[in-house]
Structure 1
Amino acid sequence: MDDHADHFGESVAANYDTSSAAMFAPEAVEPAVDVLARLAGDRRALELGIGTGRIALPLAGRGIGVHGIDLSEAMVARLRAKPGAERIGVTMGDFATTRAPGRYGLVYLVFNTIMNLTSQDAQVDCFRNAAAHLEPGGFFVIEVGVPDLRRLPPGQNAVPFRTDPGSWAVDVYDVATQHMSSNYLEVAEGRGTYRSIPFRYVWPAELDLMARIASLRPHARWADWSGAPFTAESTSHVSVWRRPEE
């Protein structure tokens, strides 16, 4: 799989905010921004995969200096068209390796963005890149789902996650490689469209090992942005690692 491919081109960016409307609701955004603002304190923040600014804009509205890295010109164009975007700098490129100017007290990825890197090597590179951007004592935060493999009976590799009239979405897993894809089929006025976005799912313990490779230390892990305990039944997690003080 190509870790450097842009799967969020114009056709996705044009409808991204509406298709992910639930994630733009205040009850989804504000708890995340609360945590990130607290971790950033009076230091700057760097968002890897800044997209259309769902988190970056309200975080900047809290007085945090925010910069972003993103591969998709189409997504960033939507960000730049929004009020307040003039306060946010963006560096274009693959967030696994692209360097932004300066250093930061907080680096973060949200909404499963780490899985957009479709190889383990790229995910490890991302941790190293985050660590290279962090000031001593700074935090690296990832929000990502727990792989939903318990829903796969033997011999099955697909799990539907949306079955609305005229719109279907299915995750397809390869448990041998940890590659997966989210596949979307929509039918409107007798015409169908299909798109597929590749990912690589990753386990919490695997992320901890990547952090260790990058010389980052575990700080916290919650089931969500509210700080609920992470358990065997959690379907997602917010994990925080810290660069040691020098």
Structure 2
Amino acid sequence: MFAPEVVEPVVDRLAALAAGGRVLEFAIGTGRVAVPLAARGVSVTGIELSEPMLGQLRKKADLPVVVGDMATATAPGRYSLVYLVYNTIGNLLTQDEQVECFRNAARHLDPGGRFVIELGVPELRRLPPGQDAVVFTAEQGYLGVDTYDTVRQHLVSHHFTFGEGRQARLGRCPQRYIWPAELDLMGRLAGFELESRHADWTGSEFTTESSSHVSVYRRS
């Protein structure tokens, strides 16, 4: 995800959407997107809950960051663009929290400002009948498996990393998955209208076969 060919289209699109205005990143993390965006001359502020991630960010750049939850924390001032990348809204594990994230974005935006979300499409069509797990990546030294709880609309991504020995390191990431139509309704509840939806940051058409989307909402 840190490769230039992955990051540059994201930065290109966000810089264009910012149109010279101030930008706020929810869950800024280690600055994978924010640091190169700031290098373009865009004024970037962040909100981040993880102190270890902030420690990594501060080794790269001196960007203003508010420590807190992206659904409730407040950054100073108003912005022309708020954005969330790489499925991060799914880290909020209830529908109510996800709606509050939209409302928090609206509170930070100028009238007509935009909220951009990058999010995967739930891959329930790949689930075999009667099973609740699907392998999303299998390669040398790494195995990725998603397990689904379709009642609560939760999934857990399990990341198995293998070395030379017989043991593996396991990391887990719980999320609440969101269908595109549900995401649009969250936006409407917070005073947004869907402006565009594409399959990626370069503007490819979003279809029934798309595995992710970049959705741009405009504050009414």
Normalization by structure 2: what TM-score?
A: 0.96
Amino acid corresponding to residue 231 of structure 1 in structure 2? T
Q: How does 1:1-246 map to 2 (within 5 A)?
A: 23-82=1-60, 85-86=61-62, 88-188=63-163, 189-244=165-220
SS at match of 2:13: helix
What are the Cα deviations for residues 4-24 of structure 1, in whole angstroms up to 9, with x where unaligned?
xxxxxxxxxxxxxxxxxxx11
CA deviation after TM superposition for structure 1 residue 89, in Å: 0.6
Amino acid corresponding to residue 58 of structure 2 in structure 1? R
SS at match of 1:57: helix
What are the Cα deviations for residues 152-209 of structure 1, in whole angstroms up to 9, with x where unaligned?
0211111112223443221001111110101122343344322211000001100100
Amino acid corresponding to residue 234 of structure 1 in structure 2? S
* RMSD between superposed Cα atoms in Å: 1.1
For residues 62 and 195 of structure 1, the distance between their equivalents in structure 2, rounded to whole angstroms, comes to 34
For residues 209 and 170 of structure 1, the distance between their equivalents in structure 2, rounded to whole angstroms, comes to 29
SS at match of 2:143: strand
CA deviation after TM superposition for structure 1 residue 45, in Å: 0.3
For residues 158 and 53 of structure 1, the distance between their equivalents in structure 2, rounded to whole angstroms, comes to 31
Q: Specify whether residues 227 and 165 from structure 1 end up closer, same or farther in structure 2 by C-alpha distance, changes over 3 A only.
A: closer
Q: Which residue does the alignment assign to 1:12? A: none
For residues 238 and 180 of structure 1, the distance between their equivalents in structure 2, rounded to whole angstroms, comes to 20
For residues 205 and 188 of structure 2, the distance between their equivalents in structure 1, rounded to whole angstroms, comes to 22
| Alignment gaps of 5+ in structure 1 | 1-22
SS at match of 1:121: helix
SS at match of 1:30: helix
What are the Cα deviations for residues 67-100 of structure 1, in whole angstroms up to 9, with x where unaligned?
0011110111111101xx12x1111111111111
Percent of aligned pairs with the same residue?
Answer: 59
For residues 2 and 179 of structure 2, the distance between their equivalents in structure 1, rounded to whole angstroms, comes to 26
For residues 199 and 59 of structure 1, the distance between their equivalents in structure 2, rounded to whole angstroms, comes to 27
SS at match of 2:45: strand
What are the Cα deviations for residues 194-241 of structure 1, in whole angstroms up to 9, with x where unaligned?
221100000110010000000011111111111111111111100001
Normalization by structure 1: what TM-score?
A: 0.86
For residues 27 and 166 of structure 1, the distance between their equivalents in structure 2, rounded to whole angstroms, comes to 23
